[in-house]
């Protein structure tokens, strides 16, 4: 059987081809699954999609009409998939519920320290043989407070690194992670995230994007933060009201903001748009701030994490074909016990 994989990056392609080779033929496309590209899937029972695929009602209808029955998503997050529609259409959808949380946690730290110590600006200067230090002053992190929103797998890995820096640890989550408590984390009340905003010098987001967490960082949250705070988002763009963030940045606030995700990233991130007119005014403004670093959803992109994602995707396909159910299956919903 041949499987169709959408949104395959060049580095990823040999890893996917090698992992599928013992089991199935695989056709890799660099285009993402969208309304325009969904018809390519006609005749493929099993397809694989990446994080920026759009699996909304219309795309899912097109896939089902073309004979697709199984979607193997190569990511943990699945906020891009309308699961209710997929269930109604009788599709099977699986994701990768676990892969190296260190890939993302280490990248969140890369952004945090890059904006704190002005690494991008410093590097640009030295390339220009400008060796002044003006404007490059950062802050020690030891003794300062890290506020971690979402202390699951990635949040815990982030917290371990914060502990290594000698930071005080504040957490916000619907459930407390004993490993974080062991490291000395104090959890703020679920209804009092403003306390975390007010007390933290570094705030890092690790909750999933859900209706309840959409614009978790809104104008009020941003106003509650210290003027010299560092804010990092390596989770999902929709957690931040980006227009509100731009307003605060215009007012000269924050030591630094590191964003690996952006709420309107679909159709932009992972693509070369360098020769096109910029249509997104918010993103265009965001990248002009000297204290902001934006990367295009690359936190997971290590050889370790990508290899794990692909191995699990192959296993998800094999499980589907054998009629086995694993914790990675999102749809059909697990039968109630
Ligand atoms: N940038 C990237 O490349 C990348 C890669 C992988 C994952 N991610 C993002 O990171 C997120 C976290 O991944 P993870 O593996 O740590 O997930 P996880 O499920 O282990 O942890 C999520 C945590 O969020 C908490 N949470 C859920 N809903 C909440 C709510 N309404 N209020 C407060 N807390 C809530 C959970 O209790 C849990 O502790 C993913 O959902 C995904 O969006 C980003």
Residues 199 and 255 grouped into a single domain: yes
Say if ligand 1 is within 6 A of residue 150 CB: yes
Ligand 1 atom at minimum distance from 213 CA = 31
- As a whole number, the mean pLDDT across the chain is 96
pLDDT value of residue 85: 98
208 CA to middle of ligand 1, Å?
4
Average pLDDT rounded to a whole number, residues 194-220: 97
My answer on whether 235 and 311 are in the same domain is: no
CB 152 within 8 A of CB 138: no
Kindly state whether residues 285 and 320 are assigned to the same domain. no
Which pLDDT score, from 0 to 100, does residue 195 have? 98
Active site residue 163: no
Confidence of residue 79 (pLDDT cuts 50, 70, 90): confident
- For residue 38, how many C-alpha atoms fall within 13 Å in the half-sphere facing its CB? 20
Residues 120 and 57 occupy one common structural domain? no
Decide: helix, strand or coil at residue 214: coil
Q: Is residue 337 part of a domain?
A: no
Confidence of residue 52 (pLDDT cuts 50, 70, 90): confident
Return the pLDDT at 243: 98
Question: Could you give the 3-state DSSP secondary structure of residue 164?
Answer: helix
- The model's pLDDT over 267-297, given as tens digits with 9 standing for 90+, comes to 899 889 999 999 999 999 999 999 999 999 9
Residue of 9, 76, 176 to mutate, ligand 1, most atoms within 8 A of C-beta: 76
Residue percentage of the chain with pLDDT more than 90: 96
Ligand 1 atom with least separation from CA of 99: 15
Strand pairing partners for 270?
none
322 shares its domain with 226: no
Same domain, 150 and 241: yes
Could you count the other beta carbons within 10 Å of the beta carbon of residue 272? 6
| Ligand 1 centre distance from Cα of residue 46 (Å) | 27
CA of 206 to the centre of ligand 1 (A): 5
| Local confidence band at 51 (pLDDT 50, 70, 90 cut-offs) | confident
Whether the per-residue pLDDT at 337 is higher than 70: the answer is no
Name the catalytic one among 236, 250, 324, 325: 236
Does some domain include residue 85?
yes
Structural domain contains residue 8 = yes
Domain CATH number, residue 89: 3.40.50.720
> How many angstroms does the Cα of residue 136 sit away from the middle of ligand 1?
33
Confidence of residue 77 (pLDDT cuts 50, 70, 90): confident
Residue 266 has pLDDT above 90, yes or no: no
Both 90 and 105 in a single domain? no
> Domain of 194?
101-294
Overall number of domains in the chain: 2
Residue 223 placed within a domain: yes
pLDDT reading at 63 higher than 90: yes
């Amino acid at each position: 059987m041949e499987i169709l994989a959408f949104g395959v990056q060049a580095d990823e392609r040999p890893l996917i081809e090698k992992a599928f080779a013992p089991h199935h033929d695989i056709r890799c496309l660099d285009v993402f699954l969208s309304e325009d590209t969904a018809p390519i899937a006609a005749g493929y029972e099993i397809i694989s999609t990446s994080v920026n695929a759009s699996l909304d009602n219309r795309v899912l209808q097109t896939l089902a009409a073309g004979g697709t029955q199984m979607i193997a998503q190569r990511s943990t997050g699945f906020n891009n998939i309308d699961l209710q529609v997929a269930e109604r259409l009788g599709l099977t959808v699986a994701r990768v519920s676990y892969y190296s949380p260190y890939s993302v946690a280490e990248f969140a730290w890369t952004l945090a320290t890059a904006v704190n110590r002005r690494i991008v600006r410093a590097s640009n200067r030295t390339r220009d043989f400008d060796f002044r230090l003006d404007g490059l002053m950062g802050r020690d992190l030891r003794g300062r407070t890290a506020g971690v929103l979402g202390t699951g797998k990635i949040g815990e890995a982030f917290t371990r690194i914060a502990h290594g820096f000698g930071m005080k640890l504040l957490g916000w989550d619907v459930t407390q992670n004993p490993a974080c408590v062991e490291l000395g984390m104090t959890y703020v009340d679920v209804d009092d995230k403003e306390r975390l905003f007010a007390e933290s010098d570094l705030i890092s987001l690790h909750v999933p994007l859900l209706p309840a967490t959409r614009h978790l960082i809104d104008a009020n949250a941003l106003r509650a933060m210290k003027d010299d705070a560092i804010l990092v988002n390596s989770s999902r763009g929709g957690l931040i009201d980006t227009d509100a963030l731009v307003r605060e940045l215009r007012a000269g606030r924050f030591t630094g903001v590191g964003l690996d995700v952006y709420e309107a990233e679909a159709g932009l991130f992972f693509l070369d748009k360098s020769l096109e007119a910029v249509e997104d005014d918010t993103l265009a403004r965001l990248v002009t701030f000297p204290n902001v670093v934006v990367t295009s959803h690359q936190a997971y992109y290590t050889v370790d994490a990508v290899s794990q994602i692909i191995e699990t995707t192959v296993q998800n396909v094999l499980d589907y074909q054998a009629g086995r159910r694993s914790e990675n299956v999102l749809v059909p919903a697990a039968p109630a016990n």
